[in-house]
Structure 1
Amino acid sequence: MQSRYISLLTDFGFKKLLGEEARMDLLVHFLNAMLPNQPPSKRVVLHPNEHRWETANERMAVFDLYASNERGDRIILEVQQKPKEHFKKRAVYYMIFPLAEQAEKGRAWGFNFQGVSLLSMLDFELERRLPDKYHHLVQFRYLEDDLVFLEEMTLVFVELPKFTKQVNELKTDLDRWLYLFRYLHHLDEIPETFKREPFMKLFQAAEIAKMSQAERAAYHASLKRYRDYQNQLAYADSQGQEQGRKEGRKEGRKQGREQGRLEVLEEGFKMGLDIRVLSGLVGMDLAKVLDRREAWLEQHSGECSACSQ
């Protein structure tokens, strides 16, 4: 069945609903929900999302969205559909660009930079050490006192797969935004909790039927890339499960054979059979049979007269 609304997890959906000038009020609302540790923003402005070092050997960073608010704070926004190698280090590296661009060329600026935040909406689990936490605010802190060292730098990671609230459980704007990231493209009607601004504006912009032909084509191309990756994950998971079943069956057979050998040894110990005979019978090293026999004798001392003969 075709979806009524676009997915916020696609590159197209994320940029259309939060990255167009006509809907900057949505972006302001979203940022205020995601960054509760900071004063609320009133206005935001979008900036070019491609950044380079001004050196001969340039490095480049491309953000999904890059914005600043009325205080001059910079915010990097991104949707990540799959884990990347060294993801946490990459996030810290990306924050260098908004910091460096604040340096005033040709004059001493004193390193008095405005706030920089990086907000990553993740379609995968990043932090397995915190299984019940999905909205992470990360800052530099003093380890001995747990005090914030630098308030101007904040990393925000949202692990969407961990967010499992149903629509009747949504209490805060943070809940509502995370629900939309997970389920917007599955909705046919607007739930009661979203029948308010700015969410009504989002639903109007997200309706596929109201898009131009070019927008629909761009969205479906973006959706195809997202689904292709999800299918790759599902295939890899099924292959892993099948391999696990094969290995489990192999291990089970191995354990069954081992258990059979031990049962033969136990019966042989009860009957007082020569350990050299038992060693050849079960295909086990003589020293190991002796060790097994000693252990068995300790457990069954006095139960079998033939065993000590």
Structure 2
Amino acid sequence: MNDRFISILSDYGFKATFGNEVDTTFLKIALKALINSSVAIKSIEFVKNDISAITIDSRSGIYDIACVDDNENHFIVEMQLSEYPEFIQRMKFYALHRFNTLVKKGEYRFENLPKIYCIGLLANSIFPQIADYHNIAVLRNTQNEIIDDQMTFITVELDKFDKKVNQVETDLEKLIYTMKNLHKVTEISQFPTFWNEDWLKKAISEVDIRNMTAEQKLAYEMTISANALAVKNEGKKIKQAKEEEKIETIKSGLKMGLTIEQCASLARVSEEFVKDIQQQFFDE
């Protein structure tokens, strides 16, 4: 392997950049760009994600972060690498959980609640009917007038972003281009000029394998190992679930009086497999 940079989309890369608690320079500018704000974020503090601080699963390898800025705005950021059409439902779950937490802390008062920004960074598309790769959603009426913007949902569908390096202008475009392309670069000579900007330079240095200490390399290798194990275990679960589903299909078919051949065709298994199930569950 000649890879020099760890993908920001990976568990380790996302944690090292967006989840860097030592230096939040990158995160502050990234969040400002993602929510399309003209107001700079002066400071940011990570808070415990009450649902799950870190989740590694075989579908995506997710690293969730929760933080609060100097204006008491709350941010929830989640990365999703695999297909997940219902992702927006999970975003609502996270945002509403944070909303309920804030209401409880305020002794069930609803005035002056801080804003909640729930941000989903997706490798794949979940809105095929929408052309734009960056969407910001708040509660609106049928006349497109804002009813409430206390809770805002932001999605970025990375696969819809196809701008070339010479077309990149805004901080949002720089962020997305970097997330999609950094791990493909092997030499600094290939850097676009905007990668020399301080916020991106700091993020890039965190995922530069040549800059990693022995401890960081170990942490990276452990993350890779953990994800590989998660994928393997999930594969076993899926295989087991499919087998159990076939068994239930066969049992139902036999109870209905279907023949062994019919059950085999229905469950898409061999007749020998059906006979084994019949013997195991129905023969005295």
Normalised by the length of structure 1, the TM-score is: 0.64
Alignment match, 1:214: 215
Alignment match, 1:163: 161
Alignment match, 1:138: 137
How large is the RMSD of aligned CA atoms in angstroms?
Answer: 2.5
Whether the 8 Å CA contact 2:84–2:126 is kept in 1: the answer is no
Cα distance in 2 for residues equivalent to 1:106 and 1:217: 43
Cα distance in 2 for residues equivalent to 1:21 and 1:107: 30
How far has the Cα of 1:196 moved from its partner? 1.8
- Counterpart AA for 1:199: L
Q: Deviations over 1:57-77 (max 9, x none)?
A: xxxxx9610001111111000
Q: Deviations over 1:195-239 (max 9, x none)?
A: 12112212222211211233223324545748x97xxxxxxxxxx
Cα distance in 1 for residues equivalent to 2:210 and 2:106: 52
Alignment match, 1:76: 76
Question: For structure 2, which runs of at least 5 residues remain unmatched after alignment?
Answer: 53-61, 232-284
Whether the 8 Å CA contact 1:50–1:63 is kept in 2: the answer is no
- Counterpart AA for 1:153: M
Query: Taking structure 1 as reference, are residues 210 and 68 closer, same or farther at Cα in structure 2, changes over 3 Å only?
Result: same
Cα distance in 1 for residues equivalent to 2:72 and 2:34: 18
- Counterpart AA for 1:202: A
Identity of aligned residues (%): 24
Out of 134, 147, 150, the position equivalent to 1:149 is 147
Bigger CA radius of gyration: 1
Question: For structure 1, which runs of at least 5 residues remain unmatched after alignment?
Answer: 53-61, 230-309
Whether the 8 Å CA contact 1:3–1:186 is kept in 2: the answer is yes
Give runs of aligned pairs for residues 109-148 of structure 1, distance below 5 A.
109-130=109-130, 132-143=131-142, 145-148=143-146
Query: Taking structure 1 as reference, are residues 77 and 191 closer, same or farther at Cα in structure 2, changes over 3 Å only?
Result: same
Q: Which shifted more, 112-121 or 185-194?
A: 185-194
Whether the 8 Å CA contact 2:85–2:126 is kept in 1: the answer is no
Give runs of aligned pairs for residues 258-297 of structure 1, distance below 5 A.
none
Provide the aligned length of Structure 1 versus Structure 2.
218
Query: Taking structure 1 as reference, are residues 90 and 107 closer, same or farther at Cα in structure 2, changes over 3 Å only?
Result: closer
Where 2:23 maps in the other structure, the secondary structure is helix
Matched, 1:31 2:18: no
Normalised by the length of structure 2, the TM-score is: 0.70
Whether the 8 Å CA contact 1:75–1:116 is kept in 2: the answer is yes
Give runs of aligned pairs for residues 40-55 of structure 1, distance below 5 A.
40-51=40-51
